Amino acid sequence: MAQWLFKTEPSEFSLEDLLAAPGRMTRWEGIRNYQARNYLRDAVRIGDPVFLYHSSCREPGIVGLMEVVRAGYPDPTCLDPESPYYDPRSTPERIRWYTVDVRLIARLSAPLPLRTLRQERALRGFQLLRRGNRLSIIPVTQTLWQHLMELTTLLPL
């Protein structure tokens, strides 16, 4: 089992949106980076835990805990011309992008902000904290996962 951090912009899809989703589940769609696509296609598995991270907002940080409930499959939004994630280079025979389904299992009692993460010596080297990191799907080692869990207080749903 691997652990992950999935980034989302709350103006696009937030913790509140996931709380309001049927069964608190959603398709994690719109990933348009090849390395992130490869993680979704080849490495993310059912049961993998995932931190939900809000980015590009006033206070970026970890806000929730999810689990993968459906492993990687072709992202249908890339074939839909009405979707903001449409990719005219994808065809039904050759879909370029992948997605997974996730379910929210807990929210944090308070967000774990990026500024706090940057102060933690144990998190040095964490891909999220590297300058210029734009990847929206980030693997989290077991050691880093345990440290992050120690910094959080989860509220069951």
pLDDT tens, residue by residue, 106-145:
999 999 999 999 999 999 989 999 887 888 999 999 999 9
What per-residue confidence (pLDDT) applies to 157?
A: 86
Tell me what the mean pLDDT of segment 50-58 comes to.
95
Contacts (Cβ under 8 Å, ≥6 apart) of 96: 37, 78, 87, 89, 90
| pLDDT over 90 at 70, yes or no | yes
User: What pLDDT, in 10s, does the model give residues 1-27?
Assistant: 899 999 999 999 999 999 999 999 999
What per-residue confidence (pLDDT) applies to 131?
A: 84
Cα-based distances in Å from 114 to 23, 45, 56, 64, 128:
29, 26, 11, 14, 9
Task: Tell me the average pLDDT of the chain.
Answer: 95
Q: Give the pLDDT band of residue 38 (cuts 50, 70, 90).
A: very high
Tell me what the mean pLDDT of segment 45-61 comes to.
96
Express as a percent the part of the chain with pLDDT over 90: 93
- CA proximity to 106, closest of 14, 26, 15: 15
Tell me what the mean pLDDT of segment 40-49 comes to.
98
Residue at 39: amino acid letter: Y
CATH number where 102 lies: 3.10.590.10
**Number of separate domains in the chain:** 1
**Domain extent for 33:** 3-156
